[in-house]
Amino acid sequence: MANQDLSTLKVAILVTDAFEQVEMTQPQQALKQAGAETHIVSPKSDRVQGWNHFDKGDFFPVDVSLEQANPSDYDALLLPGGVANPDQLRVNDRAIAFVKSFVEAGKPIAVICHGPWTLIETDVVRGRRLASWPSLKTDLQNAGAEWVNQEVVVDGNLVSSRKPDDIPAFNREMIKLFSQSGKVRQMA
């Protein structure tokens, strides 16, 4: 990962309260170490709280409220999991429109754990291969995706993983995919 330069990349991290903290912090750290600029984008305007499985975690400042966020300002999107986070985002019309903008522009998207719930709402998973937390298998299959039980799956400009244990592989493939963002614009 050290030789991947993302210094020209701006990445949106879409979360709301109750995201799985490590699924946001470790990928964000990997992106920053590769030179990317990251922004926490949220329906909340001040701060969001992570979770460590079933326990409340730390608070993180929101860089840009979803209401003010412009998808065209970003080159890539990170969708962390946790159960409640994507469940809240997938019923938020503004969040779905934000994600759909990345899909329609063919920008790379990294998604982990329960994060694919948000992607399902954009109707982009049909015909795609994705990994996720096992409980999403049926949801993804019902949405037309091929669910894969692997630590990381890259399908076009979509990279996905199952759980926190997969983060090292997820980060490696996310950095690799995001480094090609200018070349990989065919997701829609």
For residues 95 and 89, is the Cβ–Cβ distance under 8 A? Answer: yes
Place of tokens 């996720």: 132
What are the catalytic residues?
A: 114
pLDDT for 181 equals 78
Span 10-22, average pLDDT: 98
pLDDT band at 182 (very low <50, low <70, confident <90, very high): low
pLDDT for 178 equals 96
Q: What is the dihedral sign for C-alpha 27, 28, 33, 34?
A: positive
Place of tokens 């890259």: 154
pLDDT for 3 equals 56
Q: Which two tokens stand for residue 155?
A: 């399908």
pLDDT for 5 equals 85
**43: Cβ contacts below 8 Å, ≥ 6 apart:** 16, 65, 66, 67, 88, 89, 92, 94, 95
User: pLDDT tens digits, residue range 27-73?
Assistant: 999 999 999 999 999 999 999 999 999 999 999 999 999 999 999 99
Span 150-175, average pLDDT: 98
pLDDT for 184 equals 35
pLDDT for 62 equals 98
Helices H, strands E: what count in the chain?
Answer: 6, 12
Phi and psi, residue 32, nearest 5°: -65, -40
* Distance, CA of 37 to CA of 75 (rounded, Å): 10
CATH of domain 10-179: 3.40.50.880
Cα–Cα–Cα angle for 160, 112, 34, nearest 5°? Answer: 80
pLDDT for 183 equals 44
User: pLDDT tens digits, residue range 85-144?
Assistant: 999 999 999 999 999 999 999 999 999 999 999 999 999 999 999 999 999 999 999 999
Closest by CA to 9, choosing from 24, 41, 40, 31, is 31
- Enter the pTM of the model: 0.95
Report the residue count for the chain: 188
